[in-house]
Structure 1
Amino acid sequence: MIHVCHDGVAHVDRQAAFAYVADHRTVPEWMFGVTRFEPVGDRVRGVGARFDASMRIGPATFDSRLEIVEWEDNHRIVLSSISGFRTLSSWQFDDLGDGRMRLAVDFGYRLPGGAAGRAAGLLIEPLVGTIVRRTEHALREQVSRIS
């Protein structure tokens, strides 16, 4: 799996930031390229919650079914794909004191093998770092508005 990590510090309330990220309805507002993030079933928070997601990267759209595999209130959320485009992403919120919070994002992905994987790699790999940085930046901006 290929991982891209990025973090940033913001003057926002950690609990407010976590609540915003934990609300599945806000994901398309801050996650660059996400066009769909819909719950599968009634559970929308905590370990075991599942979501169907679509991410547009350039001319391609990648679909995944994601499941929350780790959840620590006000601190950490980890999602793993269980079908479709293979991803593993974590969102960690650390209180730094003085009203500051660090948001650390780790986005991992695995491309399929063969010609399809090579073609997807040519499209995705140059963009993933930019996508993660833009996502983290957009998330800090959105959260700054609500806290």
Structure 2
Amino acid sequence: MTEVKIVADCAASAESAFAYVNDYQHLPLFINEISAFEPLTEQTEGVDATFDGTISLGPVTLHSTIKIVRHEPGYAIAVKSIKGFEIESTFLFHDRGDDKSTIDAIVDYRVPGGIAGKLLGKTIEPFVKLAVKSSTNNLVTQVAAYHAARTSA
């Protein structure tokens, strides 16, 4: 597996950051490369909630069915593919005091073996790194605005 990890400070509590990411409808807002993301179960949060998603990485469009495999309110959300493109993604939220947190975004992915898999891996790797960095920057900005709206209401 290939791991991409980005760590970013955020002007929001870990609780607000978690709440923002926990709402699946926000995912396409901060991950620009997602072209479709729909729940497959009535349950849309917590362990075993399952989703279908499509992401475009440069010239390649990939599809996965993912399931939430870790859900620790205020601290962690992790998903793992159960069908399609193999991916594991984890968001960790570290509280740094009032209105401050650090978000770790970790993406592990695996391409199939053989020549085609190696070619796919070399094609998407720079796009994955850029997507994770861009998504984390978007997330930090959106979470700060979400947190400000929550705390001023």
**TM-score band w.r.t. shorter chain:** over 0.9
Task: Determine what percentage of the aligned residue pairs are the same residue.
Answer: 34
Question: Quick one: distance in 2 between partners of 1:99 and 1:17?
Answer: 10
Question: Quick one: distance in 2 between partners of 1:10 and 1:42?
Answer: 31
Q: Which residue of 1 aligns with 2:22?
A: 22
Letter in 1 for 2:110: R
Letter in 1 for 2:19: A
Q: Which residue of 1 aligns with 2:64?
A: 64
Structure 2-normalised TM-score? 0.92
Letter in 2 for 1:143: V
Q: Which moved more, 1:74-83 or 1:9-18?
A: 9-18
Question: Quick one: distance in 1 between partners of 2:15 and 2:125?
Answer: 33
Residue 123 of structure 1 and its aligned partner are, at CA, apart by 1.2
Question: Quick one: distance in 1 between partners of 2:6 and 2:84?
Answer: 24
Structure 1-normalised TM-score? 0.95
Residue deviations 1:30-72 (CA, integer Å, cap 9, x gap):
0131111110120101000000010001121100000001110
Question: Quick one: distance in 2 between partners of 1:17 and 1:125?
Answer: 27
Q: Which residue of 2 aligns with 1:32?
A: 32
Letter in 1 for 2:136: E
* Pairs within 5 Å for 1:1-147: 1-147=1-147
Question: Quick one: distance in 2 between partners of 1:127 and 1:22?
Answer: 25
CA RMSD of aligned residues (A): 1.0
Question: Quick one: distance in 2 between partners of 1:66 and 1:112?
Answer: 17
Structure 1 unaligned regions, length at least 5: none
What secondary structure is seen at the aligned counterpart in 2 of 1:97?
A: coil
What secondary structure is seen at the aligned counterpart in 1 of 2:51?
A: strand
